Amino acid sequence: MKRFATTLAAAFLAASMTICASAQSKTFRLGQWTEIHNSIVRELNRSYVDSLPVDRIMRAGIDAMLAELDPYTVYVPEEENEDFQYMINKTYGGIGAIIYKVVGDGVYINEPYENSAATKYGLRCGDKILAIDGEDTTPMTSKEASEKMKGKPGTSVVFTVQKAHTGEVKDITIVRERIHLPDVEYAGMLDSETGYILQSGFTENVSEEIRSSIVALKEQGMKRLVYDLRGNGGGLLQEAVKIVSLFVPKGTTVVTSKGINNGQEYTYRTPSEPLDTELPLIVLIDGGSASSSEIVIGALQDLDRATVMGSRSYGKGLVQSIRQVMYNGQLKITTAKYYTPSGRCVQAREYGENGDPKFIPDSLAKEFKTAHGRVVKDCGGITPDVELTAHKYSRLAYAMVLGGICDQFSLEYVKKHPQIAALEDFHCDDAMWEEFVAYAMTQKFDYRSSAKTMFDSMRKELAEDGLADSMREQLDALDKALNIEKEQFIRMKKDELVPFIEEEVAIRYYYQRAGVQVRIRYDEQLHQALAEAPAEEQ
């Protein structure tokens, strides 16, 4: 026993010395590199041939250093704190409108928010802002104009406006307000028994928005809920926990976070009594559902509280914390990984020494069990209980939507049409479609089909390999077959483009809620989910 005790003590001492030496080595290397970095900067400042752009190169150095870790660890200097807070809270001081800047021209109101200061003071889509506080907007960039519109709530800003429909020019003084963009973009009834909530983020108090929406929908007769988290990139972890709390008993484990240091583990449980533990629940997800969305989805799936439908989620199982640094800056730093109630981590990517992401192969996924014994896996986001087919859009649709053709057409349409039919009766009729085609024909965009772009790339490769001349006749014939005229191709894709046109136009007259209602009309995944929901969800 004495010999065993001596051996055990020696082993403990050796382990302690190893840990101590490792910590000292880590601290030593950090100090060494800090000294090297400082000496380089001092020498550059002393010897570089031109004036040293200290702010630029130091910021670039910090950003490059953090990029070696993961995409979510970032430095936010004091001058960017306002934008950072907007990302967290979706709140700012201003008039509440999206603007559009035409190069060499003024600034146009593209979309005023519902019940915002802009709307209250009479600004409408299509109105042209000639000057802000007497300063001509023609030479301004969109960012410069936006910054002049923003300001502390309660302060005033004067716009010189040319009204879209009358051409009248007048000054309008607007008192800035606290503008908050809600995370609950839409809450309404799909039919007499099915409620629907679309949530776009997890900023402060969104759980209360969800609670209020559910209460209101139940008063309208809701007997099942479709909770749409598609495209929701996440936000505050605490809000995710509170949302799960609406559907499961108080004290239920929602998520556990585990940090790098031993013992740095925290379990988050539902903090309050639930709103309804029996309400049938369908949760819609896709590849854009990430972070806090995945906490909610993972918990509801692991607890067998909801049917998860859609396509596999993004796979971000990392937790970020905010740390204050010198000179009023902030460091958003990855401090932990999170684990769902079954014990799985949904993180789908590893980050190497250079910060590049590498997908974790499915072969390394481990199996876990839900509350009712169903098998779920980790390492690759969240796989839905029911896979739904996503609509595949053509290259032309992407070009016209992402290129702003549909968006800018709606702006031009509003200028010519003071009103449209009530939303429930509004559709893109033949006259509107012809207006759209005529407008699109005046715009420059890449209207080639996917097949044509692949062909053009192949022909270029053949030419570089010296094979194009020998195949010229066949290539010319295929090129001719694939070369569809611009107007012909637009008309071929009418059914695909009409929903986007209707959505953009509806928003300009009836605000963002109307856009969601139009999307619901054409949402193939949503309609598929309602048709394929398990019997208890019907």
Residues 57 and 37: beta-carbon distance below 8 Å: no
The verdict on whether 291 is a catalytic residue reads yes
Catalytic residue among 183, 286, 302, 378: 302
Which burial class, exposed, middle or buried, applies to 233 when counting CB atoms under 10 A from its CB (0-12, 13-18, 19+)?
A: middle
Q: What is the spatial distance between Cα 473 and Cα 479, in angstroms, rounded to a whole number? A: 10
Q: What is the spatial distance between Cα 249 and Cα 169, in angstroms, rounded to a whole number? A: 59
Strand partners, 173: 158
Q: What are phi and psi of 301, to 5 degrees?
A: -75, -45
Q: How many CB atoms within 10 Å of residue 439?
A: 16
Quickly tell me which residue has 């856009």 as its tokens. Answer: 515
Catalytic residue among 258, 316, 332, 452: 316
Q: What is the spatial distance between Cα 391 and Cα 335, in angstroms, rounded to a whole number? A: 37
The radius of gyration of the chain's CA atoms, rounded to the nearest angstrom, is 28
Q: Give the Å distances, CA to CA, from 233 to 93, 294, 359, 386, 412.
A: 24, 9, 19, 21, 32
Q: How many CA atoms lie within 13 A of 74 on its CB side?
A: 7
Strand partners, 128: 108, 162
Q: Residue 355 region, left (φ>0) first, then alpha (ψ -120 to 50), else beta?
A: left
The verdict on whether 302 is a catalytic residue reads yes
Catalytic residue among 291, 292, 293, 410: 291
Residues 129 and 150: beta-carbon distance below 8 Å: no
Element (H, E) at 85: helix 81-89
The verdict on whether 276 is a catalytic residue reads no
Active site residue ranges: 291, 302, 316
